[in-house]
Structure 1
Amino acid sequence: MPACIFLLPNSLPSPNEIKALGKDAYPPVLRNFLEGFGEPKVATIFENPALSGFASMQWVWMLLTQRENLAPSAPYLWKGLGGPKVHQEFWALNGYRKENGVLKSAGDVFDIDEECDLRDLLNPIARQFNFEVQVLDGRFFLARKKAWQVLITPWLAQEDKPAAQPAGPEAAEWTEITRVIEESLAKSVFNEYRAKAGRPPVEGFWINGGAFEEQLLPYTQIRCALTSDPTIRGISEAAGIARAYIKSSTAVWPDCPEGDRLCILDDFNDPSVKTDPARWSAAWTRAVKRMEHLTATAKGFEKYHPRLVTSDGLRVSVIEKLQEQKSSFAFWKSPKNYTEAWLNSGR
């Protein structure tokens, strides 16, 4: 029986958030939608709290590729943005600023004027370390033909935390290039222009997600994907989903072959949604309406059923619609509602 798989990143509240939401923690619209769903199953994606925040991306990687290595995001971000096939190892650059000992996002996408200034600043540094600068849609990458033997926390897990330390044989080089970039930015007038435009200063770049792009064999059995995340779009295409069957998260299902379908819902991307009862309830109202519509409009030889995946920083919790009972006694059964158990899976 094919499934409509709905991933809701960051929608799994912590016990403290559940307590703060009080009676509004379990919205009636969600409780009604989950009637007839089975008991939730919880999977720990990471034990290491340093990787907290990367669970959703890692889960998508594991779903689409059947691989358990840490998801290499940079080459698939390049691919998802429409970049040409280049036989080089790609590393993404995420701008940061420092605040009270942690790294805060300073922006990942730069306008044309900023792009020109950053090219001039980064090109000589990149050459010094045997890289070249690649830019696509205002996003910056470092690329090289030889693999860089560095292990570093993905930016999605690094943001709002003290800077993690790199590992691997060439970790010292990662530390050095990061230092040189920070010093060059501090000496440049780049952030003066940023300040005049009301934008936060860029004090450095987090170099992460490095890998060579490859066709991710064997190809996935997922037939289409609705997502606005360019990295997930790139992974989906590399895993065998035709580009025509990869649409934005707000699109309708494409006319794709029979099989499971994936949709990434963005209603909980802002963490503050889980701290405001009104916004929390409104987010679930939008999400449920979207899931009901997509489940009803998924056409095939068999009836599609919904499978919901919620995540926090380290874990995912999966709940799935049970097959309808054919017995005449099914009318007398009162199945348990697992809404509370599902949302209490966080920690």
Structure 2
Amino acid sequence: MARRRARNTVRREPVSTDDATMSDKDTVTDQGKGDGGAQKRLDNTTKIVSIVSVSVGLMLSVAGYFGNLKLQALQKSIAELNVAKGNIDVAKGQLDISKGAMEVSEKQYVLAARLAISFSTPLAKSFALDVSQCGADQACLGQRISYPTTQMGNEFTIAVPRWRERKGLMTGDTCSREGLHARQVVLLGIRNIGYADAQNVTIRFIRKSSPHPSPLQPWFEPSANGEAIAYYDLPPTSRGWTSDTVSIDVVRGASSPEKDRVEEQLVMASVASARELYGTVLVPIEISWTDALTGKTGSMPVMQGQQPRLRKYLGNHLGGSEIGNLGDSC
């Protein structure tokens, strides 16, 4: 039994201290190596995260910068659009104001008293028949013939009966160089083409009497070189002419009954061939009036623009004034 126990006993060798130490070192070294790799990976990850964070931050900063620029540009565009819209609104307002002013002006123009003037040059015989039918200063056939001065009225009282009897209708000589001239009367027509009545109508003119005692004898207005001046070329500052005015109470407009809306015909002169003058001669310069609705006054020149018409119908054979030379019958 004692031997069996001895045989079964295992001999244990003592473990060297160095071996134990080496084993512990290996264990520590392996653990250290594992911990160091993880730390390195952690450091690398941290660096990457930092780089990514910086990149993302930079990108966000850049994006924010350009975003701010775009936002500022957008805000600037919106501000400019608002300014433009404001300008458009202002322009539209001004346009509306102008439109309203035009409508008011148009309405005032339609309602205002508006005088229209024109010259006519009837032959002496035709004028005499009209006066005989209607009488001077009497409304007839839509017109009223009147003499601005008493002296002129007296002179025509002598001439008109002769014209009715076919006397004094022609002047000149059939066999002379100038030939025959027909007698004509210069009439200034005044009518109201507006709505309101024209009140206090006044015509300013220059006047000159004949140097002869008889209105049946012709006279001439000489120019600087001694030639006779045509009626339509008589200057308003001619020497020896007197400035005067004649008034008409009212010239009716569309607001008055039609029967009262007559054209005023004022006798200005009796002529033959434009340069041959008879009796008192008047040359109208300006006409003025007062609007019955607004009380405003208006005026306009008379002769301006009328010379071509007078030149056409005075001293023109087509108008009946210059008959011409009839030498073949002499």
Q: Same fold by TM-score, threshold 0.5 exceeded?
A: no
Which of the two has higher C-alpha Rg? Answer: 2
> Could you say which structure has the higher strand fraction?
2
Which structure has more relative contact order (CA 8 Å, sep 6+)? It is 1
- What is the TM-score of this pair, normalised by structure 1? 0.19
> Could you say which structure has the higher helix fraction?
2
